């Protein structure tokens, strides 16, 4: 739509017409589904006792054909396998799988990933099973080593997969042609009876080539093993399997059988011939000793789904699932949804041919022509085939999209420069899936597409077109469990990830996800409770905070003070246990708990092992409580998303017990676990509680807070037993000139003068001086006149700007009022602010070329009111003493080197800082790393020291393993660099490095506050602030000692000094003056 609208009088008719049209579109395809679902199913027993497995024989009646099929299946029960032990395997002389690894690829040995106790047990059990049936063997010194990945099945059991990502990259694609899907489907249609069969673990029935077996090695905590059979997940496994079945059934393919990899179908034009065709098929299966999976076989049916299509005697029916995303689109219910639908259709005018019908409806008034166009649209959708067919080995393209409730994809092909859709995929996300990150949702869309369109992914190279780094996320070694599972699943296909160029097919994918939610009013109400918990530890004690949110958005908040000594991890467990008991008390059946403790979440999920006895006891309590819920899930979230529970926990652990409060802070008298060492502590805690007159409570009381949606269940909660007094919050107004107290990093925007709030700054101190210099008039009072003559001699006037003649600097720009606040705030906490002390900040401002009479006083007061400086400034506990400095005669001769870390993992995965400080100028070079090895140290010195500042004479460092390695010593020896090591376990021996480290850490803390993971982005501003701040040992700015001039800092952009106003106008004179300054730099 381009500016047009639907008349208000026709809205009701419009909605009614669209609802009826889409209902008719869905009806035709639902008839096909009903025809299949109404077929009678008969279970056929194929064994006795524990080996009793059912296979299915479907028929439209109880005629002779149905009975014959049953007898024949029972007669050939030896062709089925009940377990992996029943598979003898295909003779290797017939076929075996070869990897054909490209020799140009270097073998990769993946480092063993740590698994929790439960997952390690699942891996060991799987290894024992595979060893017993002879599918794997132990191996020593393999060149290729992969890791195991343990994922949960839908039934809750563990599935063990192997991450063959690196090996698959080294294997070229097998050019063996897979059958064309359209030909197979067309040749299947028109038959009276069909039988669908599936091999039992078909890939595992093919042996690996002996020379390639060790390349499939995988590592466990008990040893290294390799596959003797072809495992799942290898790149060309599908081509090898197709080569086998083509060889086995070559005489029958296209006549009485069709096979696409592991999908086998026996077809008969006449019912009477079907048993004969089955006999021919089973004779071949028995000859090659290929076993079938009885649970996945269906015999003697008139129709069924084959490779995504419904095949019947009448022909090929359009699979309702193929365009279900369009057919299930609910009718618009209001005016805006009509606009949205028509806008989407207009956006798709070139992606599907039928949209050309609407090409002329630019104005889109809902009249008879529009009704006719919509009828043609409906007719086109209900007339198969709608979708395009790919050519053999043609490259296909997948567009994916996600929304709040669904993921979708569109598989397209290119035909003469135009992209045409092949298949639409759409999936509504479950409640846990809606909480996935955006990258996980995109990966889910790709995996869902690959599962639904497996034949296309197996026979065609596929390019996933997206503007997100999906490839990096899926191939990261530190991905989550579900991402690791998906990466292994997708590694067997020929998938490439490319940047999205065309937006046409992307609109299709977005269209599917942005449709109105289906049947929201008829869906069962969400019964999941959300539980947010956090524990806190302070000098005053420990506390826990709980926030419980009902399905109707009613909030319960509670704080508990622990009356016993508890560590931070124990407080986190106590918070979770108290939250679960609170959820039990309100009758919750489905709970999703959110916690910011990595240890608690990973121990519960089995990723970490609880080695400590107390942690193990706490874990057992949590698991026991979680079993009382129908559904329970524990998810780790960042601290920033758990602010309410964090504040409640801090309130309980730090507040005065006598403080009046409105949020109840109760007491937990004893631990949720019992140990022998804690009997006395618990007894004392109970005695203390009794002395205060506090009764013991089993279920934590709650404080109810009503929301707009009221839940009657919350009215039956027990009353608060322990009286709680309200919190009185004290909100004092902050003065105008006050440091920013926001925990989040401020956006990098320079302060403008008109952004400063109005304030009474008093009389401008510059005006009397400027008036005297311009007019020569003196005050009438002789003493004031005398003082004016003395003071004004130190000032001069240039272009209506007042300058002070300095001692160390020639001219200082005089500023007042809002300009003072801009400069002070920018220097202290701006982009290059170092949160320096008051006097240091005043001297830095003076070096920048600014002056006002109360510089030091104002800077000291500003620094004293900075909350971050008070929180993170170093606390000196020992008297200062004189140190003997290590001198350096020229810049960059001698460097100190040290490593800071491990720090809180940054958003880019870094945890360590490598820092080098010049002894002469105090210049710092630093860089962040995820881990620091000797090779990284060599690269850093080459790139940041030698190439920038020249070859140093000496480097002073400690005895870290990176610095005493042979590689580092050889590197320094090659460049003639002397390496001096400080005394072990004596940090003062490398005092220069320790002082620099302390300054960097202090400034990072002051900048970040709660956002600890963002320190990587703040590193360069901190280094800039350090380099442009005077250092006490030299009295100079490192930047000026290195470059012979002062750096231009952001404060000068808003309050321009001489360099911003005069220097650019006299470039020749300025250049000459700069040369003179550099010639006399040795006198400074």
Can you point out the beta strands (E) in 304-449? 304-306, 309-311, 316-317, 396-402, 406-415, 418-428
Q: In whole angstroms, what is the distance from residue 403 CA to residue 384 CA?
A: 29
In this structure, the number of other CB atoms found within 10 A of the CB of residue 203 comes to 20
Can you point out the beta strands (E) in 171-237? 193-197, 207-208, 218-220, 223-227
What DSSP string describes 549-616?
A: E-TT--EEEEEEEESS---HHHHHHHHHHHHHHHHHHTT-SEEEEEE--HHHHHHHHTSS---SHHHH
| CATH of segment(s) 528-716 | 3.30.420.10
Q: What's 97-145 look like in SS3? A: ECCCCCCCCCCCECCCCCCCHHHHHHHHHHHHHHHHHCCEEECCCCCCE
N-terminal to C-terminal alpha carbon distance within the chain:
72
Residue 971: what pLDDT?
93
Residue 645: what pLDDT?
78
The structure tokens listed for 742 are 């926001």
Q: In whole angstroms, what is the distance from residue 39 CA to residue 264 CA?
A: 21
- Extract the residue ranges of the chain whose pLDDT is less than 50: 1-42, 44-56, 58-64, 66, 325, 333-335, 343-365, 378, 381-386, 504-505, 512, 514-524, 659-662, 676-758
* pLDDT tens track for 867-895: 777 777 666 655 555 555 566 778 899 99
Name 212's Cβ contacts closer than 8 Å, sequence gap at least 6: 97, 98, 99, 101
Residue 49: what pLDDT?
37
Q: In whole angstroms, what is the distance from residue 218 CA to residue 226 CA?
A: 6
Q: In whole angstroms, what is the distance from residue 544 CA to residue 648 CA?
A: 7
CATH class of the domain whose range is 79-302: alpha beta
Beta bridge partners of 311: 304, 316
Instruction: Confirm if 1018 and 1004 have CB atoms less than 8 A apart.
Output: yes
Name the pTM for this structure. 0.40
- Asked if the domains 762-872 and 894-1049 are classified in one and the same CATH topology, the answer is no
Q: In whole angstroms, what is the distance from residue 346 CA to residue 359 CA?
A: 8
* pLDDT tens track for 207-235: 999 999 999 999 998 899 999 999 988 98
Residue 1083: what pLDDT?
57
Residue 541: what pLDDT?
79
Q: In whole angstroms, what is the distance from residue 865 CA to residue 862 CA?
A: 5
396-513 is classed in which CATH architecture? Roll (3.10)
Residue 475: what pLDDT?
73
Residue 329: what pLDDT?
54
Whether the upstream peptide bond of residue 617 has omega within 30° of 0, thus cis, is no
In this structure, the number of other CB atoms found within 10 A of the CB of residue 937 comes to 25
Instruction: Confirm if 228 and 213 have CB atoms less than 8 A apart.
Output: yes
Instruction: Confirm if 377 and 367 have CB atoms less than 8 A apart.
Output: no
Q: Among 80, 83, 95, 92, which Cα is nearest to 133's? A: 83
Strand, coil or helix: 1045: coil
Ramachandran sector of residue 266 (left: φ over 0; alpha: ψ -120 to 50; beta: rest) = beta
Provide the angle, in degrees to the nearest 10, between the axes of the packed helices 766-775 and 782-792: 90
Q: In whole angstroms, what is the distance from residue 656 CA to residue 1081 CA?
A: 60
Strand, coil or helix: 866: coil
In the chain, domain spans: 8-34+320-381, 79-302, 396-513, 528-716, 762-872, 894-1049
894-1049 is classed in which CATH architecture? 2-Layer Sandwich (3.30)
Name 662's Cβ contacts closer than 8 Å, sequence gap at least 6: 726, 727
Residue 805: what pLDDT?
82
**Residue 896 parent element (H or E):** strand 894-900
- CATH domain 762-872 topology: Endonuclease III; domain 1 (1.10.340)
**Residue 532 parent element (H or E):** strand 528-538
């Amino acid at each position: 739509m381009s500016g047009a609208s639907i008349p208000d009088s026709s809205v009701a008719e419009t909605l009614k017409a669209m609802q009826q049209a889409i209902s008719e579109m869905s009806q035709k395809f639902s008839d096909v589904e009903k025809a299949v679902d109404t077929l009678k199913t008969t279970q056929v027993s194929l064994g006795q006792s524990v080996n009793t497995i059912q296979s299915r024989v479907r028929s439209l009646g109880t005629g002779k054909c149905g009975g014959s099929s049953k007898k024949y299946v029972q007669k050939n029960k030896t062709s089925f396998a009940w377990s992996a032990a029943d598979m003898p395997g295909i003779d290797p002389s017939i076929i075996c799988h070869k990897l054909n690894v490209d020799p140009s690829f270097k073998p990769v040995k993946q480092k063993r990933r740590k698994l929790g106790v439960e997952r390690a047990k699942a891996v060991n059990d799987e290894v024992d099973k595979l060893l017993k049936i002879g599918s794997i063997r132990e191996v020593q010194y393999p060149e290729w080593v992969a890791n195991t990945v343990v994922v949960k099945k839908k039934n809750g059991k563990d599935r063990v997969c192997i991450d063959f990502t690196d090996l698959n990259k080294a294997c070229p694609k097998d050019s063996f042609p897979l059958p064309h899907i359209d030909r197979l489907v067309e040749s299947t249609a028109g038959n009276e009876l069909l039988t669908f069969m599936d091999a039992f673990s078909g890939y595992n029935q093919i042996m690996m080539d002996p020379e390639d077996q060790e390349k499939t090695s995988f590592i466990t905590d008990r040893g290294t093993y390799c596959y003797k059979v072809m495992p799942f997940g290898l790149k060309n496994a599908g081509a090898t399997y197709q080569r086998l079945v083509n060889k086995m059934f070559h005489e029958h393919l296209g006549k009485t059988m069709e096979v696409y990899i592991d999908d086998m179908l026996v077809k008969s034009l006449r019912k009477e011939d079907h048993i004969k065709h089955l006999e021919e098929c089973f004779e071949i299966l028995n000859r090659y000793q290929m076993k079938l999976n009885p649970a996945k076989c269906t015999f003697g049916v008139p129709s069924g789904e084959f490779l995504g299509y419904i095949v019947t005697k009448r022909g090929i029916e359009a699979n309702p699932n193929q365009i279900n995303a369009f057919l299930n689109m609910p009718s618009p219910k209001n005016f805006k949804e009509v606009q949205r639908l028509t806008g989407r259709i207009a956006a798709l005018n070139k992606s599907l041919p039928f949209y050309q019908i609407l090409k002329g409806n630019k104005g889109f008034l809902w009249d008879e022509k529009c009704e006719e166009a919509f009828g043609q649209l409906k007719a086109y959708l209900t007339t198969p085939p709608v979708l395009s067919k790919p050519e053999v080995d043609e490259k296909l393209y997948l567009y994916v999209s996600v929304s709040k409730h669904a993921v979708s994809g569109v598989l397209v092909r290119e035909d003469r420069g135009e992209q045409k859709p092949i298949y639409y995929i759409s999936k509504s996300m479950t409640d846990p899936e809606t909480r996935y990150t955006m990258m996980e949702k995109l990966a889910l869309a790709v995996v869902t597409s690959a599962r639904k369109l497996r034949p296309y992914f197996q026979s065609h190279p596929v390019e996933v077109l997206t503007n997100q780094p999906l490839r990096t996320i899926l191939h990261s070694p530190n991905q989550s469990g579900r991402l690791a599972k998906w990466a292994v699943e997708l590694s067997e296909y020929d998938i490439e990830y490319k940047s999205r160029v065309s937006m046409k097919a992307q609109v299709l994918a977005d269209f599917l996800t942005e449709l109105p939610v289906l049947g929201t009013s008829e869906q069962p109400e969400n019964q999941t409770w959300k539980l947010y918990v956090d524990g806190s530890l302070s000098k005053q004690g420990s506390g826990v905070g709980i926030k419980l949110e009902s399905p109707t958005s009613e909030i319960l908040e509670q704080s508990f003070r622990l009356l016993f000594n508890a560590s931070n991890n124990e407080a986190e467990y106590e918070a979770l246990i108290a939250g679960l008991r609170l959820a039990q008390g309100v009758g919750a059946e489905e709970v999703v708990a959110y916690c910011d403790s990595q240890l608690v979440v990973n121990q519960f999920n089995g990723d970490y092992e609880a080695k400590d006895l107390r942690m193990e006891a706490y874990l057992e309590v949590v698991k026991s409580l979680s079993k009382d819920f129908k559904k329970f899930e524990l998810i780790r979230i960042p601290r920033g998303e758990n602010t309410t529970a964090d504040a409640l926990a801090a309130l309980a652990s730090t507040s005065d017990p006598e403080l009046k409060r409105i949020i109840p802070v109760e007491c937990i008298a004893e631990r949720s676990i019992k140990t022998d060492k804690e009997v006395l502590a618990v007894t004392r805690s109970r005695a203390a509680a009794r002395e205060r007159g506090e009764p013991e409570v089993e279920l934590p009381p709650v404080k109810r807070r009503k929301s707009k949606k009221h839940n009657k269940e919350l009215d039956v909660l027990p009353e608060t037993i322990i009286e709680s007094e309200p919190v009185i919050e004290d909100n004092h107004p902050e003065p105008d000139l006050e440091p920013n107290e926001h925990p989040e990093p401020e956006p990098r925007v320079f302060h403008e003068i008109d952004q400063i709030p109005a304030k009474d700054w008093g009389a401008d101190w510059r005006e009397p001086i400027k008036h005297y210099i311009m007019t020569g008039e003196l005050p009438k009072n002789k003493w004031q006149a005398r003082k004016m003559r003395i003071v004004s001699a130190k000032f001069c006037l240039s272009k209506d700007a007042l300058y002070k003649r300095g001692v160390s600097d020639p001219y200082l720009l005089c500023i007042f009022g809002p300009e003072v606040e801009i400069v002070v705030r920018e220097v202290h906490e701006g982009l290059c602010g170092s949160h320096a002390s008051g006097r240091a900040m005043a001297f830095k401002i003076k070096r920048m070329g600014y002056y006002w009479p109360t510089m030091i006083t104002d800077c000291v007061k500003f620094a004293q009111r900075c909350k971050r400086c008070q929180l993170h400034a170093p606390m000196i506990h020992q008297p200062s003493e004189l140190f003997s400095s290590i001198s350096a005669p020229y810049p960059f001769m001698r460097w100190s080197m040290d490593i800071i870390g491990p720090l809180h993992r940054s958003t880019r995965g870094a945890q360590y800082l490598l820092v080098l400080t010049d002894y002469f100028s105090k210049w710092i070079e630093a860089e962040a790393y995820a881990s620091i090895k000797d090779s990284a140290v060599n690269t850093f010195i080459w790139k940041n020291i030698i190439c920038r500042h020249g070859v140093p004479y000496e480097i002073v460092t400690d005895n870290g393993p990176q610095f005493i390695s042979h590689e580092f010593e050889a590197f320094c020896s090659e460049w003639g660099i002397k390496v001096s090591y400080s005394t072990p376990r004596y940090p003062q021996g490398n005092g220069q490095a320790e002082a620099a480290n302390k300054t960097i850490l202090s400034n990072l803390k002051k900048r970040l506050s709660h956002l600890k993971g963002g320190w990587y982005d703040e590193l360069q501003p901190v280094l800039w602030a350090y380099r442009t701040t005077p250092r006490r040992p030299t009295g100079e700015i490192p930047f000026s000692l290195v470059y012979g001039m002062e750096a231009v800092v952001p404060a000068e952009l808003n309050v321009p000094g001489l360099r911003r106003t005069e220097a650019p106008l006299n470039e020749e004179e300025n250049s000459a003056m700069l040369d003179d300054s550099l010639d006399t730099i040795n006198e400074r």
